[in-house]
Amino acid sequence: MLTKILPAVRGLMAKDNILPRLARVEPSGQEPAISVPPGCADVLCELRRQLPAGATRVTLDTLGTYEAVFPAVSGRVAGKIAVVTGAAQGFGFEIATDLARQGAWVALADINVDGVNAAAARINAACGREAAIGVAVNVADADSLRAALEQVVGAFGGVDLFVANAGVLRAGSVKDLSVKDLDFVTSVNYKGYFLSVQTVAPIMALQHQAAPGLWFDIVQINSKSGLVGSNKNGAYAGSKFGGIGLTQSFALELVEDGIKVNSICPGNFYDGPLWSDPQKGLFKQYLDSGKVPGAKTFADVKKFYEAKVPMRRGCTTPDVMKAIYYLTEQAYETGQAIPVTGGQVMLA
């Protein structure tokens, strides 16, 4: 119920095209009380009818009292509400950290419950404010996503930026990769992205209906493997190619709801656990699978891949953040797959 009401309230409380965060507060008895009948066919129309112009507090029947909180910090995404999946570690955690540093309210979502709560606490300590929350989610499960977004909306009031970062990889030849590994990669990277957009898009659309001058962003963290094939890594590359197909299709459909949808295709992020985990990381997987001829150590694998990049280094979080901020600030860009690869992949 929260996701069907609070985003609309938030949109109606916008001032000068700035959306507030909605914070749960104790009722004072002075704020307007609104009751939306169960099964109401047009929630937004009902809210417009009952919510006085200029109201900044409201008591919603059965949901509680909420107050509009406008940005008190500066930054490139000041006051925006962001969700980052796969945020307990690696790229996701660092993306969430930078968004909070730039003034956003951030929900870190991850299947690793303890890890994501600890990650949110680290962000809050670094920011000196309650900028982040941890949310448990399995992006391959629709019910889990709905519950997670309900929690996010309950905490902040809506969603302005959704970063679909959660991803997994199982390297292996098409000759012997198990169906179990194929299904695992596809369920998270492809199905998980589809379900994430399916769940968050109605929230953003409701905000746009309430405040038609405002637009919202979905950004998928894809991969250079979504732009070019990857030897002995077909399950991953296929899921990422499919993700770009989803991005282009979503962009065409959701533009009418005030939602821009884009992908970012980073090069190799060697410092994150996807590569560096000593037991499950890509250095180990690629070494064990023989993907790098003659490689004997992780260092051999890294050197092999760095040599493929004209800039002779891996991708970093600041590289990716520049692309994220470009996409959120550029009002005339949707359906794109932007490479951030140091020249390893160049588009025609």
Q: Angle at which helices 282-289 and 298-306 pack, to 10 degrees?
A: 100
Task: For residues 189 and 236, give the distance between their C-alpha atoms in angstroms, rounded to a whole number.
Answer: 8
Determine which one of 236, 270, 286, 305 is catalytic.
Answer: 236
Active site (annotated) includes residue 236: yes
What CA–CA distances, in Å, run from 254 to 77, 202, 218, 250, 260? 22, 10, 10, 6, 7
Q: Compute φ and ψ for 212, nearest 5 degrees.
A: -60, -15
What CA–CA distances, in Å, run from 96 to 123, 196, 227, 234? 8, 17, 25, 29
Task: For residues 189 and 97, give the distance between their C-alpha atoms in angstroms, rounded to a whole number.
Answer: 22
CB 192 within 8 A of CB 118: no
Encoded tokens for 194: 């589809």
Beta strands in 201-330 (DSSP E): 216-221, 259-266
Task: For residues 341 and 22, give the distance between their C-alpha atoms in angstroms, rounded to a whole number.
Answer: 38
What CA–CA distances, in Å, run from 340 to 135, 169, 218, 225, 313? 28, 19, 17, 12, 12
Question: Tokens 């209906």 map to which residue?
Answer: 209
Task: For residues 326 and 345, give the distance between their C-alpha atoms in angstroms, rounded to a whole number.
Answer: 19
Element (H, E) at 346: none
Beta strands in the chain (DSSP E): 21-25, 33-34, 57-60, 64-69, 81-85, 105-110, 132-136, 161-164, 216-221, 259-266, 337-340
Which residues form the catalytic set? 236
